[in-house]
Amino acid sequence: VTGSHEAHDISVLFEAHAADLYRYAYRRCASEHDAEEVVAETFAVAWRRREDLPQGEPARLWLFGTARMVLHNTRRRLRRQQRLTERLRQRWTSDRGLNPGHRVVAQDRLQRALEALSANDREVLQLLAWEELSAAEIAVVLDISVPAVWKRLERARRRLTAQLEPERPEHPMNHRAAPSARTTAEDCR
């Protein structure tokens, strides 16, 4: 779908999609402030480029793609990986009212496993599970082909599953760096 002949009413778009974009950003930032910032910046871009915005459902995907780029810029600028990791961990284990126990351990493991994935693999899984986008929609957001989406999904699943396998006894050869020790600092992901 090409740009619209009639410019979008950004207010209408905002009403329809801002909540989804806010949650999209919140899932990756674990910060209300940062999520709000992403939403505001995303719609500022939409306003600037309203003549080029596609009509209908593709507009929603366009917004997701823009929010993703805004997040990318935020990552580069902020670089607060340690604080984010701690926030996320706290949120995952306490903010949601979870009690200590096996479930928390399982969630923590899943989170750690997710963090151990590459950014591309993690993003494709999150778009599928959290934003509930189809492979075709993910392809639009990430600007890649549908087969590439499936390929990444399969790879992400395989790696995540491997990460979630029962931990083997500690051995120097099995040592894996903790996610927080990654050298590439990110704030929102």
Partner 1 sequence: MNLTDVTDQLREQDPAANVAFDATGPTGRRLLAQARRRQYRTRRPTRRRQPARRRQLANGRLIPVLAGLATLVVASLLVLPSGSGPAIAGWTTQPDMLDGEERAEFDALCRSMVDTEDPEARSLGHLRMITDDSDLVIADRRGQITIGIYVEPDGRISVCDVRDDDEELPPSVGGFTAYGAPDGRPIPPEQEGTFEVVHEPGFRAGTGAAGLGVYGRLDPDIDTLRVQLDDGRTLDATIEGGHFMGWWPTRCTGHYASGNCSPALEAIEAIDADGNLVDRKVRDTNGPDLVPDPQARDATPPR
The residues of the shown chain that bind partner 1, judged by CB under 8 A, are 10-11, 14-16, 18-19, 22-24, 26-27, 30, 36, 39-44, 46-48, 77, 88, 91-92, 96, 107, 110-111, 114, 125-126, 128-130, 153-154, 156-157, 160-161, 164
**Cβ of residue 139: shortest distance to partner 1, in angstroms?**
16
**Cβ of residue 31: shortest distance to partner 1, in angstroms?**
11
CB nearer to partner 1: pick between 107 and 144:
107
- Cα 113 from Cα 159, distance rounded (Å): 8
**Cβ of residue 88: shortest distance to partner 1, in angstroms?**
7
**Cβ of residue 172: shortest distance to partner 1, in angstroms?**
28
Q: Which two tokens stand for residue 43?
A: 């719609």
Taking residue 57's Cβ as centre, other Cβ atoms within 10 Å add up to 11
Q: Which two tokens stand for residue 118?
A: 């590459």
CB nearer to partner 1: pick between 14 and 148:
14
- Cα 90 from Cα 93, distance rounded (Å): 5
User: Residue 94 has what DSSP assignment?
Assistant: I
**Cβ of residue 120: shortest distance to partner 1, in angstroms?**
16
- Of 120, 163, 165, give the one whose Cα is nearest residue 143: 120
CB-count exposure of residue 66 (10 Å: 0-12, 13-18, 19+): buried
First-residue to last-residue Cα distance in the chain: 29
CB nearer to partner 1: pick between 39 and 142:
39
CB nearer to partner 1: pick between 38 and 172:
38
- Cα 42 from Cα 142, distance rounded (Å): 16
CB nearer to partner 1: pick between 9 and 143:
9
